[in-house]
Amino acid sequence: MAEENKEEQQEGAIATTSKVSEWLNQNNFAHESLGPDHQGVPMIKVERDYLIPIATALYAYGFTYMMCQCGYDDGPGSALVSCYHLAKIDDNADRPEEVRVKVFLPREDPTCPSVYWIWKSADWQERETYDMYGIVYEGHPNLKRILMPEDWVGWPMRKDYVTPDFYELQDAY
């Protein structure tokens, strides 16, 4: 009986995609809709090879404001994720249209093209993601550590990171 109810619910469920995802589909941009997040902002998954063409298209579509770029670790042995929160700011907009773009990267090769040349605000944000998670943003003009010392070993925000027992602080003078 429970299986029949599940099947009925699945049949009755309406698959909804966001306006942005529909626009990307109409223009033949390969992506996967991940549905809305907890705030109702649509999320899309993009392969790293298609990030720059899709980011450029989203910019041309009106997403000229990158609210945030960040990274996170999906768990030990899982993917590292580079996430972009974009907004479309229009005149007299009470609530701007938003979208989150996520790029899932393998731990063995966490490289991703930089969007610095599309949104200049990605500069320090990509550097911070590099510094904390080790995601290498190819094409970034100044990709180096921003929070940790240059000689720090490892990526402190990864879930499999082992904190060193001792780190010698250097004299500031």
Q: What is the pLDDT of residues 98-155, one digit of tens each?
A: 999 999 999 999 999 999 999 999 999 999 999 999 999 999 999 999 999 988 889 9
0.85 surpassed by pTM: no
- N- to C-terminal Cα distance for the chain? 74
The phi, psi pair for 49, rounded to 5°, reads -65, -20
Measure Cα distances from 137 to 25, 30, 86, 120, 144 in Å.
26, 21, 18, 14, 10
DSSP 15: P
Comparing 30 with 59, the larger pLDDT belongs to 59
- Helix (H) / strand (E) containing 90: none
